[in-house]
Amino acid sequence: MDWEAIFEGTVKSFIGINAVYFAIAAIGLNVQFGFTGLLNFGQAAFMAAGAYGLGMTAHYFGISFWWGIGIGIVYAIVLGLLMGIPTLRLRADYLAIVTIAAAEIVRLVVRSVKFKDVFGGSDGINEFSGEFRRVGTDVGFEVADSYGFWWFTFTGRQMWTLVVGWILVAFFGTLVYMLMKSPWGRVLKAIREDEDAVRSLGKNVYSYKMQSLILGGVIGTFSGMVFALDRGSVQPDNYSRDVTFYVLTALVLGGVAKVSGSIVGPMLFWAIFVFIESTLREFTRDGPVRIGDFTLIDSTQVGQINLALIGLMLMLLMIFRPQGLFGSRKEMAFDDR
C-alpha cells in the first residue's frame, strides 16, 4: 500500500482541474436547482455546448478561439430555450424529463457519423487549445516547468488551466452570490418555494425560470470550456447524462442553495472519489481480490464500484442530509410540500 501516493492524489484533487470544472458546473446547476428549484438534469448538454463551441471555432472555422466562447454561450442559450419553452409552464418533472432527453440527444448528435464533419463523431475534436496555451506561456507559465508547493505541484500547463479555472470559479461564485442577494434572487428563491404565490404578486414566473435556466446553463458552458481546454480535446462521451448527476451529487454534498456549497462540494467530491479510486486500485494492483472462488473486485471494476458508491451517496444525502454538509435546513427548500 502506497498510502503517501493515495493521500497526495487525494489532497491534490481538492484543487485539481476536475474540482474546477465541476465547481463551475455546480455553480450553474445551483442557480437552477438550488435557488430556483428547476430540475435541470441536462447540465451535461450545456457543458458540451461550451466545449464544442470552442472546439468547432478553433478547429473548423479557423478563427481565434476567443470567438468560441461567444459561440458556446449562444449554443447554451439556444439549448436553454429549447428545453425551457415547452416545460417551464408545467410541473417540475417535465423539465427533468426533457432536459435528460435533450442531453442524450445532444450527445447522440455530436457523436453521430452523420455529423462527423461538424462535430468529429465519436473521436470528437482535438488540438484546439494551442492558442490558449500560448497565452499561458505569455503570462509566464512555462509548459514543462513545475509550479506550486508540497503536494500541490503541477506542471505549467496544468497550472495555467487551474489559474484560469479558479478565476472563473471565483468570478461566477461572486456573480451568483450578488445576484442572489438582489431582489432578482429573492424572486427566484420565492419561486423555488411556491410559484403561485409569486405569480399572484405580479412576477412573471415563466420569464424568471427561463432566465435562471439560461444563466445556469451559460455558467455550465464555461465548465465545459475549461474541461475541453485542459484536455485539448472534446469527446462526446465526456458529456454523458450521468455527468450531470455527478455534478448534482457534488452540489448536494456541499450544500444546495449556497454558493459556498457549490464550490466546496465539488472539491470534496473529487477528493472522496480519488481517494476511493486510488485505494481500490492499490488493493487490486496485484490481481483481483477473491473470497474463495468469488471475485470480489478486480482492477477493471474499480471505477464501477466507485460510481455505484456515488449513486449510494446521492441517495443517502438526499434522504438524511438534503441540505448538504454546509447548508442550512431552514433555508434549503427545493421541496417543501
Partner 1 sequence: MVIALFAIVAGLLALADAPAHAQDTEYAIRVRVLDQQRDASGRADNQPVEGVSITVVDADGAEIGAAVTDAEGMALIAVPAPGDYVVRLDEETLPDDLGLAGESTAEEAVTPSSFVTSTTNITFFTGESQSFGQSGVEKVAQRLADGVRLGLILAMCSVGLSLIFGTTGLTNFAHGEMVTWGALVAFLLNVTGIGFLGFLDFLPLIDSDGRFQLFLTVPIAVVVGGMFGWLSDWGIFARLRRRGIGLITQMVVTVGLSIMLRNLFLYRFGGRTRPLRNYSLQEGVDIGPVTITPRDIVTALVSLAVLVAVASALQYTRIGKAVRAVSDNPDLASATGINSQQVIRLVWVAGGSLAALGGIFRALDEQVGFDMGSRLLFLMFAGITLGGLGSAFGALVGGFLVGVLVELATFVVPSELKNTPALLILILVLLLRPQGILGRAERVG
Partner 2 sequence: MTGDSTAQRGTSEIAVEAKRALATAAAEPGSAKPDPILEARDMVRNFGGILAVDVEHLEVQRGSITALIGPNGAGKTTFFNLLTGFDEPTRGWWQFDGHQMSDVAAHRTAAMGMVRTFQLTKSLTKLPVIENMKLGATAQRGEKWWNALVPSLWRDQEHEIEARADELLARFALGHMRDEYAGALSGGQRKLLEMARALMTQPRLVMLDEPMAGVNPALKQNLNDHIRGLRDEGVTVLFVEHDMDMVHDVSDWVVVMAEGRIIAEGTPDQISNNPDVIDAYLGSHQGTSLLEDLEALEDLG
Describe the crossing of helices 241-254 and 259-284 by its angle, rounded to 10 degrees.
110
Per partner kind, with CB cut-offs from 5 to 8 A, the member of partner 2, partner 1, none near residue 193 is partner 2
Q: DSSP label at 57? A: I
Q: Of partner 1, partner 2, none, which one sits near residue 170, judging by CB under 5 to 8 A according to partner kind?
A: none
Nearer to partner 1, 145 or 237 (CB): 237
Do the bridges between strand 146-149 and strand 152-155 make them parallel or antiparallel, or are there none, so unpaired?
antiparallel
DSSP assignment of 143-198: SSSEEEETTEEEEHHHHHHHHHHHHHHHHHHHHHHHHHHSHHHHHHHHHHH-HHHH
Cell triple for 20: 474546477
Please identify, using beta-carbon distances, which residue of 2 and 335 lies nearer to partner 1.
Answer: 335
Q: Do 270 and 261 touch, CB atoms closer than 8 A?
A: no
**Residues from 111 through 140 that contact partner 1 (CB under 8 A):** 112-114, 122-123
- Cβ-proximal residues to 322 (8 Å cutoff; 6+ apart), any chain: 252, 256, 329, 332, 335
Task: Give the dihedral sign, CA 44/46/47/52.
Answer: positive
> Among partner 1, partner 2, none, what does residue 145 contact (CB within 5–8 Å per kind)?
none
Instruction: Choose among 243, 245, 241, 268: nearest CA to 255.
Output: 268
CA 233 to chain centre: 17
**91 is a contact residue toward partner 2 (CB under 8 A):** no
We find the least distance from the C-beta atom of residue 173 to partner 1, in angstroms, to be: 23
Site string for partner 1, 51-90 (x = CB under 8 A): -------------------------------x--xxx-xx
179 is a contact residue toward partner 2 (CB under 8 A) = yes
For 78-146, give the DSSP string: HHHHHHHHHHTTS-HHHHHHHHHHHHHHHHHHHH-STTHHHH-GGG-EE---HHHHHHHHHTT--SSSE
Q: In whole angstroms, what is the distance from residue 319 CA to residue 258 CA?
A: 19
Question: From CA 160, how far away is CA 138, in angstroms rounded?
Answer: 11
Binding mask 187-206 for partner 2 (x = CB under 8 A): x-xx--xx-xxxxxxxxxx-
Number of residues forming the site for partner 2 (CB under 8 A): 30
275-334 positions binding partner 1, by CB under 8 A: 294-295, 298, 301, 304-305, 307-316, 318-319, 322, 334
Task: Give the nearer residue to partner 2 in terms of CB position, either 31 or 103.
Answer: 31
We find the least distance from the C-beta atom of residue 325 to partner 2, in angstroms, to be: 19
Answer yes or no whether residue 197 interacts with partner 1 by CB under 8 A: no
Choice between 208 and 269, CB closer to partner 2: 208
Scored b (16 or more CB within 10 A) or e, 163-179 reads: bbbbebbeebbeebeeb
- Nearest-approach distance from CB 332 to partner 2, in angstroms: 7
Which of partner 1, partner 2, none interacts with 175 (beta carbon under 5 to 8 A by kind)? partner 2
| Binding site residues, partner 2, CB under 8 A | 175, 178-179, 182-187, 189-190, 193-194, 196-205, 211, 215, 330-333, 336
| Binding site residues, partner 1, CB under 8 A | 37, 39, 41, 82, 85-87, 89-90, 92-94, 96-98, 100-102, 104-105, 108-109, 112-114, 122-123, 237, 242, 245, 248-249, 252, 294-295, 298, 301, 304-305, 307-316, 318-319, 322, 334-337
